[in-house]
Amino acid sequence: MIDDRGTGMDQKHVMNAMRLGISEKNPKDNIGFRGIGIYTAYNLCDRLDIYTKSESDVNGYLIHFDFKKARLALLEDQERKKQNLPTTVFLEKLLRETIFYSVDNETTLNAPETRVIMSELLSDVYDDLNNWDKVENYLRDIVPLPFREDFKYAKLIQDKLIENQEKIVPVTLQIWR
C-alpha cells in the first residue's frame, strides 16, 4: 500500500489517470509523463485499487484494475493465434473490461490524498519483497535518498541540481518488515 497525502484527484484527473500512454504532464516539471506508470503494476499483482479524494470534489473515487482478468484474456488470445484463429482481444475493449472507476461510497478517504493498494501479489514478486537483502539493494540503487554526511561531493551535487532547477521532492520512506 502506498499513501500519498498530497492533493488527491478529482473526477477529471481520475479519468486521465486511467488512460494508457497519454499524459498531459510536462516532463520538465513532473515525474511520469508517458501515461504508463499505473500500468507497471500489471506484472506485480492481480488487482490494483486506487482510492483518491481531492479538496475540489465532494466525492472520493476508486479506480480498479483487474490485471488478472487482462492477463487471462491475453493468454487465451495467444492460444487462439497458435490455432490460426483471429484475435478477439483489442486494447480499447480489454481496457474497458478490466479497468473502471466509481464513486467511493465507502468514503475510504476523509481528506485530500491518494491510496494505492496492490492485492494478490504474484508469487515471484511476493518472494522478492520478502527477501530483505534484495529490497535493501534495490532501494539503495533506485530511490533518491540524501547523500551520506561524509560524502565530500554531496553539497556540490545538490547545488548543481538546484542551479539547474531540478525539482527536488522530499520523500519519507518507511519500511516495515
For 3-56, the pLDDT digits (tens) are: 888 889 999 989 988 887 776 766 666 666 666 778 889 999 999 999 999 999
Examine residue 168 and state whether it is found in any structural domain, yes or no: no
Residue 94 lies in a domain: yes
Nearest to 41 by CA among 70, 75, 79, 6: 70
Residues 100-153: tens digit of each pLDDT: 999 998 888 889 999 999 999 999 988 988 888 888 788 777 766 677 778 888
Amino acid sitting at position 108? T
- Residue 157 domain-assigned? no
Domain membership flag for residue 155: no
Read off the pLDDT of residues 50-105 as tens digits, 9 standing for 90 and up: 999 999 999 999 999 999 999 999 999 999 999 999 999 999 999 999 999 999 98
Query: In this predicted structure, what is the pLDDT of residue 31?
Result: 61
- Whether 134 maps to a domain, the answer reads no
Domain range enclosing 90: 2-121
Count the neighbouring beta carbons within 10 Å of the beta carbon of residue 86. 7
Residue 53 gets which letter from DSSP?
A: E
Question: What confidence score (pLDDT) does residue 8 get?
Answer: 92
What's the total number of domains in the chain? 1
What pLDDT shows up at residue 32?
A: 62
176 domain-assigned: no
SS3 71: helix
Give pTM, 2 decimals.
0.76
Query: Is 149 within a domain?
Result: no
- Indicate the SS3 state at residue 160: helix
pLDDT score at 28: 66
Q: Is residue 66 part of a domain?
A: yes
Q: Which residue has the higher pLDDT, 99 or 168?
A: 99
